[in-house]
Amino acid sequence: MMEHLVQIILLLGVAVTVVVTFQRLRIPTSLGYLLVGLILGPHTIGPTIYVPEFKALAEFGVVFLLFTIGLNYSLPQLHALRHQVLGLGTGQVAFTTVIVGVIVWLAGLPAAAAFVIGAVFAQSSTTLIGRQLTEQGEENSRHGRMGLAISVFQDVTAVPFLVVIPVLGMAVGASVLAGALGWALAKAVLAFALVFVVGHWLLRPLFHLIAAHRSAEVFTLAVLLVALLAAWTTNSLGLSLAFGGFLAGMMLGDTEFRHQVESSIRPFRDVLLGLFFVGIGMLIEPAVIYHIWPQALLGALLILASKTLIVAALVRKSGIDALTAWRIGLVVSVGGEFGFALLAIAIDTSVIDARLGQIALAAVLFSMVAGSFLIRFNHAIAARLFGSRHDAAPEAPAGLPEAPGQVIIGGYGRVGHAIAVLLQMSKVPFIAFDIDPKRVAQGRAAGHQVVYGDISDPELLAAAQPQQAALILITIDHAETALRTVSLLRSLCPQVPIITRARDLKASSQLLEAGALHAYPEAIESSLRLGAIALQMLRVPTQDVDRILQGVRDWNYQPVVEEKLDR
């Protein structure tokens, strides 16, 4: 036990050092975890860690990754994306898998191994693409939004590979293999039906019951239970654990608890996914890479070139101009972390051998390094290829989400509900968060987009993406929670204006100092409104009343506060 404890401490120490360094250098942390695995793996000089339970824990990182992806792609959302992004995402994965697979098959690989290589090369790094585009200020551009949408949807289209690849490891004839694939797909449909029925009839009432206790601990335990139970169900049917996680995420993604569920699962997902990448890094053999680097380099070129050409052609065929199509192709061309997951499954099931696995692993790594430069200089490269330096029309293509601009409301009590009604009447999109499941149910019954969640939870805010909001309104009554929320929001999204309620002038001043644009003290405001009505009844002109009230606010309510103190 003490030996394992020392190894765990060593792993955590190296991981913290490497990940912090990579974050400071703005390099994707997934590459940092790969480096940790390489440093502590059996194929390099220095300490080597070996914990028997490590591999099992790492596998749950992929389960929670697929669970999170499922949260963002519920059935209604998949139906809404069924046109352009759905077609482009599916087409890109299908064409890349087939074309790359045929190329490597002609180069001498067995058909099953060629299929796996095509599937691995078809994946793109959503993490790398999103971070790079954000750093360049292109995350909301036409090519950035569409490229990121295609990349995210690749994760969904990769789910069938989780069903197919393990079956390919069976050393049987073609007819038996076809039967096994058909049986695997039938079990996948059965698993989907089971999870769908359970999710539809049990999950929502279950989480309503749990949320009523207002215990973050119990809520997190319930989320873990649902994710792992679904994973166990699919594994019992002979399918992958990750497939069950995806199905459970899909079911919960269609409920009002989606954001809080994602908030609860995020720490487990990030840590266990980091362990997964550490495990992948341990598979890297530098001595072998020295001998296979030409093949790995050719593989990286195949990843970058095939996806750039295929995506550009598909996007161009959809009616988008050539320059934007090339830019989208360059953005999506990079290799992806999910390819590592498919690669690990293929190695474990003996679909590909160790040497081919090393070549594919190195090829994906090389493509991620080179692809980051293609993303950074996508406009210059596309302009040279296209022969023009003028960008395309700015309108967004059909099928993509609207430009950022919804309002976030923290708290759906008396004040939050009133604001929601006004926003709805004005046709302004909004989303409200509240920790009272009864209020959430009432709001949804009224047609408002109200979801369960604690607005002061950093993980929830990360899932809600407040940096894309047009305005944030904090209407919760608890002063300390409101102050903590404003401080957190100001660090996450300093560019987004924040308006909040306050009990009194002291709380208002604290909220303004924390970063709120406006913090209205309720007691004083109600007195001002009462006084304004009195003045209007005494026939004082409305514009004079408005001027007086605004003057009091501009002086931070000091005139009325001083009068109160004098009395």
- Structure confidence by residue, pLDDT tens digits, 415-428: 889 889 888 888 88
Let me know how long the chain is.
567
What is the mean pLDDT of the segment spanning 65-83? 70
Q: What angle do CA 280, 282, 286 make, to 5 degrees?
A: 110
Which residues contact residue 217 at a Cβ distance below 8 angstroms, ignoring those fewer than 6 apart?
none
Q: What angle do CA 381, 382, 386 make, to 5 degrees?
A: 125
Please write down the HEC assignment for all residues of 104-117. Answer: HHHCCCCHHHHHHH
Which residues contact residue 141 at a Cβ distance below 8 angstroms, ignoring those fewer than 6 apart?
133
With cut-offs at 50, 70 and 90, classify the pLDDT of residue 1. low
Average pLDDT, the chain: 81
Q: Which CATH number fits domain 54-386: 3.40.640.10, 3.30.930.10, 3.40.50.720, 1.20.1530.20?
A: 1.20.1530.20
Q: What angle do CA 342, 344, 349 make, to 5 degrees?
A: 95
pLDDT tens digits, residue range 417-456? 988 988 888 888 999 999 888 899 899 888 899 999 888 8
Tell me the one-letter amino acid at 103. Answer: I
Greater pLDDT, 53 or 111: 111
pLDDT tens digits, residue range 219-270? 999 999 999 988 888 888 877 787 788 888 888 887 888 888 888 888 888 8
Residue-range domain boundaries for the chain: 54-386, 407-566
- Token pair belonging to 378: 């996508």
Q: State the pLDDT at residue 330.
A: 92
- Token pair belonging to 311: 């995506």
pLDDT tens digits, residue range 356-389? 988 998 999 899 888 888 988 888 888 887 654 4
Q: State the pLDDT at residue 79.
A: 63
Q: Are 437 and 222 in contact (CB under 8 A)?
A: no
In eight-state DSSP terms, residue 468 is G
Q: Are 279 and 58 in contact (CB under 8 A)?
A: yes
Residue 390 has pLDDT above 80, yes or no: no
CATH topology of domain 407-566: Rossmann fold (3.40.50)
Q: How far apart are CA 435 and CA 18, in angstroms?
A: 37
Q: Are 306 and 96 in contact (CB under 8 A)?
A: yes
Q: Are 558 and 505 in contact (CB under 8 A)?
A: no
Q: How far apart are CA 483 and CA 274, in angstroms?
A: 33
Which of 96, 102, 97, 99 is CA-nearest to residue 116? 97
Tell me the one-letter amino acid at 3. Answer: E
Greater pLDDT, 565 or 536: 536
